[in-house]
Amino acid sequence: MSLKAKLAMGVMTGALGLSLVGGGTYAAFTDTESVSNTFAAGELDIKLKQQDGTTNLGSELFTTNLKNLKPGDSITKTIRVKNAGTLSVNQVFVKADYDDFVDGGANIDGDPDLGGENGPHAFADQIDVKITGKSGHVVYNNTLKHLKDNSSSDITDSTTNGALPAMPSKDTDPVTITLTFNGEADNTYMKDSMNINFHFEATQHAGTNFNDGDDINFLNGSQE
């Protein structure tokens, strides 16, 4: 066989091999059906309201200007915590911190008996905080300093449903906060001042194993 014939045969064999490889990837009859669902997370949200339950509280707890206070003075305010989301709230805790401390200083108006140097934690230790839920259920009763590193117990504990559901209607629970200037505070704290911040922290219920056909929207919104 001539060289030219051998080369031609090699080309034909190679072409046949490619044809067989191509034939191996050919698909038989197929059919595809697809289904899909939107996976959407709910919303856990609370809002602070005035005692009427509808008016927004705003940025300040008390409308009264808390100045010129003396040892033994106290002030009380009742507000309501409202579920403003789509998920039922399991628990609500109250926390606090403080900032912008101003030391009144020593020798006020040149009198060595008035005033004294101290810091924010010492002043916070002279402010008692009492927090109650529904029906006067006490959830915290200690100093502001202690509350900075801790939290109240659940304010929904004393309610009928023990939670803050979003359905069938947006539930609201009352919270009463009382601040008392320690009656035994001495001259050291004269003219001291600071800003007090309260924080309300809501938590969700534990996850649920649902079955197909369950009304997840309502079940997660109405949990108690």
Model confidence pLDDT, tens digit, residues 40-59: 899 999 999 999 988 998 88
Identify the CA nearest to 127 among candidates 96, 164, 82: 96
Go through the domains of the chain in sequence order and give each one's CATH number: 46-206+217-221 (2.60.40)
The β-bridge relationship of strands 127-132 and 74-83 is: unpaired
Identify the CA nearest to 131 among candidates 113, 106, 157, 165: 157
Identify the CA nearest to 82 among candidates 53, 109, 52, 60: 53
Is residue 205 predicted with pLDDT exceeding 90? yes
pLDDT of residue 108: 76
Contact yes or no for 153/95 (Cβ under 8 A): no
Q: What pLDDT band is residue 16 in, cutting at 50, 70 and 90?
A: very low
Q: Label residues 31-46 b or e (16+ Cβ within 10 Å = b).
A: eeeeeeeeeeeeebeb
pLDDT of residue 177: 95
Model confidence pLDDT, tens digit, residues 83-137: 999 999 999 999 999 999 999 887 777 776 677 788 999 999 999 999 999 888 9
Q: What is the pTM of this model?
A: 0.81
Q: Residue 111, CB half-sphere, CA atoms under 13 Å: how many?
A: 9
Q: What is the mean pLDDT of residues 25-39?
A: 79
In percent, how much of the chain has pLDDT > 70? 87
Model confidence pLDDT, tens digit, residues 59-90: 888 888 889 999 999 999 999 999 999 999 99
Measure the CA–CA gap between 83 and 205, rounded to whole angstroms: 14
Measure the CA–CA gap between 124 and 120, rounded to whole angstroms: 6
